[in-house]
Structure 1
Amino acid sequence: MTGTGARSHGRVFGDLVAAALAQEGARPGVLGRVHAVDHAAFAWLAQHHVPWANRALPALSRSANHSRLWMVAAGSMALSGGRAGRRAALRGLGSVALASTVTNAVMKRAARRPRPVLDLVPEVRRLPRQPWTTSFPSGHAASAAAFATGVALESRSLGATAGVLAGGVALSRVYTGVHYPGDVLAGAALGAGLAAVTLRWWPRRPVAAAFAPVPQVRVPVLPDGDGVVVVVNASAGPEGEVAPRLRELLPAAKIVERGARPAGSDPDLEGGSDLEALLRSAAAEAVVLGVAGGDGSINAAAKVALEFNVPLAVFAAGTLNHFAGDLGLQRLEDTARAVRAGEAVLVDVAEIARDRTFDFGPMSQTDPEVFLNTFSIGVYPDLVRAREALEGRIGKWPAMLVGLVSVLKEARPVKLRVDGRARSVWLLFLGNGAYAPAGFAPAYRPNLHDGLLDVRLVDAAKPAARTRLVAAVLSGTLGRSRVYEATTARAMRLTEIQEGAPLAVDGEVRPGASQLRVAKGRRVVVYRPAGARRA
């Protein structure tokens, strides 16, 4: 723009402001001047046309009606963006829901600002259906900014893409004449602020992987994977994709796929479908035991690795991959790189000793189960069973949602003694290591070598415990709720457990027991590359 052109535009805008001030004579002071500048900016923008935008911006504005654009964008992120994409999609949609509620149910009703008059806006730019709600603040801009900010809190790259769309939607609301610029700016600021507020309920995970020390004994360095035997649980990941990729990454490694009986194996092994038997067979000949699957498969492999005293190579190929996520193993390439370089860490394992006779002997005289992530009694095992009953028909995530509704409706508390104290609980959660954040639902572990059990309990003996729990979660005050208890321990004894109460161990439902002892003690060597980061 030339200097003359700039001065000409400046004079036009100044004249518009002066005219608006004259009309705002009944509204003196700062508020009157702000309204005048807002009206003038609207009028100035209405007089400037961009040919390509006359069709594109109205179409973009319509696509954001009822947050349809953001739902489609979130679906795309969840399907193609991996774990980070799913988190970004969830936070983005949660931010939109919060911003939309506050904007439409509170702010618009309080402000009641009329929409701009459309006389100055060319008809080609106008929306086919004009909004009927009040103008301040812009709900579209609030939702757009909330979605982009929520996504950016989880992923900068996805947030940048969402930000471009959000900026286009915000601009379109002024360009089509349905909002003053001030409405859009206020809406965007409100939406971004409310997205930031979601951190109170759902804090971000740190970028650095969980701490775990390097073992004092040197682990094998296997440049081409010779000596590695990997058992691939094909049912846990994308069918047919994991094994071929592992053969590319570690060409000398032996890859055993669950469901295909390996040469020389026991012919009575039902085609190799018994995962633990496959892992034992692999560990007997391996320098390094590898497992590709989800948390349940990795749990089984950790127990076998401890039994055979071999290092463990974890290839994340499940749906949630909690253990691999805390380790910073997001891709198959991460673990392969660690195996080739001989880089590993020492990770805590929690053990569960069960006894059905009430004659509780020392753990050394039992065959304990292990868990790497979590153990629980209460509603979670029921939720896992409900999900498994439905996921074959409708998929894992829809089954989880349907199962949650059913379980919460029909759930009953579990009675037991916790370290000798009689309790009635909706949920008893034990984590292998202290989870963060404190006072919220467990999300991640900063340390995989702290020797602690994270103990969280929802007390069913308190009046209206479920209702109070939900209210505390929604208000972000769970840490101060009287129905919720959180502490740490190095061991815990559970006795007189209510008959029929199942257990959930690393996401897998197991039969219950009359009494249990959970403790920390042993550690397993797991390959992890230096500088590993979470997704």
Structure 2
Amino acid sequence: MDRFWRLFSGAADHGVLWFAVAGVLVALGKPRAAMRGVVSLGVASLVANVVGKQLVGGDRPTLTSIPIARRLDRSPTSPSFPSGHTASAVAFATGVALDAPAAGAVLAPLAAAVGYSRLHTGAHWFSDVVGGAAIGASAATLVKAAGPALRRIRPASRRDEPTANAAELPVLARGAGAFIVVNPGSGAGLGRPDARSLLGERLPEARVYELQSGDDIATLVREQLGSAEPPRALGVSGGDGTVSAMAHEARLAGLPLLVLPGGTFNHFAKAVGVDSAEAALDAFEAGAGRRVDVAELRLPGGRDGDAVTRTVLNTSSVGIYPAFVAERERHEGRWGKPLAAVIAAVRVVRKSTPIELEVDGRPRTIWSVFVGVDRYYPLTVAPIERRRLDDGVLDVRILDAGRRPKTRGAVALAFGGRTDSFVARLPFLQGPPAVDGFTAEVLSLRSRGDDPGYAHDGEASTTTPGDAIELRILPTALAVYAPVSSP
């Protein structure tokens, strides 16, 4: 039993036990309770170690009165009052209980056992444990009182959709004057209706082309624009990568774009309110749409020495972010998104190294740079949701690599800036915030070491021509057929 209590007390060092319990709670579908527990632990640890020990402190029990078999392998040397282990344990258990009472009841004996282990091993006096418990319970109560800061960000609804940039677009009866490209390889196996059959029924006079291996969308569109009857609208059925390629040509030609969601995720289609191919065709037949923001990605060093440009509809990134998203999505079906994010963050950070970049001319050592078209939510380094189409800014999230890059990097990548701000106050992970977020109209990135590659709209590249890229917001630069809700 002496050996058990020594090992149990050690398992709670640096909150390791409670972070593991938080992961279990997330896996059981209680991410909010886990987050409240972790935040409460961070506050309690800060108060106990930075305030309590400095103001009260005191000597620890004399080890000569403690049997050798019960002593810790490494005796603590910090001041005795209060017990930081007990403060963290009670804070976590209480924080969880305030959100999920049943889970808190299960954790209460575990927290009590941590407090007892500090007495059994001679690390603290009884008064230290009582003081730590009081601090932990108070910290959880304060975090509960500050509940608005921990509430989930409300998902966007149709009422949140902007209407200021609604546009009347050409009504092309039966599809006459529309050139539509269908990518049959997008979203394979998802059981969606065949886009070609649907187009044949509703837009029988549209020119529909099925992409073949080796086809280039830019070449196809330019051939149509040079024909005797150039198209008055462009359309595409496919995933975000295919849609992005067609959107680039539509923007350059000044033509409206019809988007039929045909990929796995269809982030852009969802952002503009097109949930299905039928909804897109309804908007097309009514001439309903809106003008939306996009970004221009410039890559120096094309074949002719001129800059290569791409149109970004959703996001662009450099570093480990694309690998993190791919790994997270690989585990989402089995574990759910919160726990999948933890697994992905640990795996990706563990096998990666920070990269050296110049961000707007400033040298930085980072894990990744995420750039969203308009503002994204939640406030993490790996946001999920875009709520507006007309913010007119780039949303930049940079995951810095600091003194403890792998630990802090994984925490920030999985849980975001709010959790990282609390983790940064823990004695063993102190340092500036790992997540740096800001908005800009233009952003330049240049590699100072190995080429990190880049990604945009689900398409990744392992090389960056000229080792530099520039992103610029283009407000309301693309017209899209989409349902427009009433003000």
- TM-score interval (norm. to shorter): 0.5 to 0.7
Q: 2:403 — aligned with what?
A: 463
Q: 1:380 — aligned with what?
A: 321
Say if 1:381 and 1:502, in contact at 8 Å, map to a contact too: no
- 2: CA distance, partners of 1:419 / 1:475: 23
Deviation at 1:440, TM superposition (A): 6.6
Q: Which of 160, 171, 174 pairs up with 1:221?
A: 171
**Cα distance 1:333–1:283, how it changes in 2: closer, same or farther (>3 A)?**
farther
Q: 1:502 — aligned with what?
A: 453
Pairing 1:43-62 to 2, within 5 Å after superposition: none
Q: SS in structure 2 opposite 1:304? A: helix
Deviation at 1:494, TM superposition (A): 1.8
Q: 1:484 — aligned with what?
A: 435
With 476-485 and 491-500 compared, the bigger mean Cα shift is at: 476-485
Q: Is 2:361 the counterpart of 1:420?
A: yes
- 1: CA distance, partners of 2:186 / 2:352: 28
Structure having greater relative contact order (Cα 8 Å, sep ≥ 6): 2
Deviation at 1:92, TM superposition (A): 8.9
Q: 1:243 — aligned with what?
A: 196
Code of the aligned partner of 2:267: H
- 2: CA distance, partners of 1:254 / 1:278: 12
Say if 1:212 and 1:448, in contact at 8 Å, map to a contact too: no
Say if 1:279 and 1:304, in contact at 8 Å, map to a contact too: yes
Q: Is 2:246 the counterpart of 1:301?
A: yes
Question: Percent identity of the aligned residues?
Answer: 31
Deviation at 1:105, TM superposition (A): 6.0
- 1: CA distance, partners of 2:106 / 2:238: 50
Deviation at 1:525, TM superposition (A): 0.8
What's the RMSD between the two structures over aligned residues? 4.1
Q: Deviations over 1:287-311 (max 9, x none)?
A: 1100111111111011111222211
Q: Is 2:384 the counterpart of 1:443?
A: yes
Q: 1:41 — aligned with what?
A: none
Q: SS in structure 1 opposite 2:311? A: strand
**Cα distance 1:385–1:277, how it changes in 2: closer, same or farther (>3 A)?**
farther
Say if 1:456 and 1:487, in contact at 8 Å, map to a contact too: yes
Code of the aligned partner of 2:471: V
The count of aligned residue pairs is 337
Q: Is 2:487 the counterpart of 1:518?
A: no
- 2: CA distance, partners of 1:237 / 1:418: 35
Pairing 1:4-403 to 2, within 5 Å after superposition: 93-94=29-30, 106-108=104-106, 110=108, 200=150, 203-208=153-158, 210-211=161-162, 213-214=164-165, 218-238=168-188, 241-259=194-212, 273-281=215-223, 285-356=230-301, 366-383=307-324
Q: SS in structure 2 opposite 1:516? A: strand
Say if 1:329 and 1:532, in contact at 8 Å, map to a contact too: no
Code of the aligned partner of 1:529: P
Q: SS in structure 2 opposite 1:305? A: helix
- 2: CA distance, partners of 1:497 / 1:243: 47
Say if 2:294 and 2:311, in contact at 8 Å, map to a contact too: yes
Q: 2:481 — aligned with what?
A: 527
Code of the aligned partner of 1:331: S
Q: Deviations over 1:345-372 (max 9, x none)?
A: 1111211222259xxx9xxx63322211
TM-score scaled by length of structure 2: 0.59
Structure with bigger helix share is 1
- 2: CA distance, partners of 1:372 / 1:273: 21
**Cα distance 1:342–1:103, how it changes in 2: closer, same or farther (>3 A)?**
same
- 2: CA distance, partners of 1:91 / 1:332: 34
Deviation at 1:382, TM superposition (A): 3.9
- 1: CA distance, partners of 2:165 / 2:179: 22
- Structure of greater Rg: 1
- 2: CA distance, partners of 1:475 / 1:258: 39
Q: Deviations over 1:281-330 (max 9, x none)?
A: 45553211001111111110111112222111111111111111111110
- 2: CA distance, partners of 1:479 / 1:280: 49
> Structure 1: which 5+ runs fail to align?
1-89, 113-193, 260-269
Q: Deviations over 1:383-419 (max 9, x none)?
A: 578899x99xx9xx9x999976653321111101111
